[in-house]
Amino acid sequence: MTTITLPPQCTREAALAVLAQAREQGTADLAIDGIAVESVGQAMLQVLLVVLGGRPLGSPSAALADMVRKVGLGPRLLEGAAQ
């Protein structure tokens, strides 16, 4: 399994880097480590939806989980994730 670790500030630039890394490594067996995330923007949320393909985040930080819930993506990105 390949794990991509999200940075504390999940900006548009960080989202583009994560997308490129996911494309390079493949998304079939991909895990996302979001434990260090302090803030997250719309671009990163969109990238997470695409690269996870319906799988939950493995380890979201409280800030990441809170934002995911606020925008209504909890059922898609958090179900089954350690919260």
Q: Is 34 helix (H, G, I), strand (E, B) or coil?
A: strand
CA–CA gap between residue 2 and residue 66 (Å, rounded): 25
CA–CA gap between residue 14 and residue 29 (Å, rounded): 21
Report percent pLDDT > 70 for the chain.
95
**Predicted structure pTM score:** 0.89
Q: What would the pLDDT profile of 25-54 be if each residue is shown by its tens digit?
A: 988 889 999 999 999 999 999 999 999 988
| Mean pLDDT computed over every residue of the chain | 92
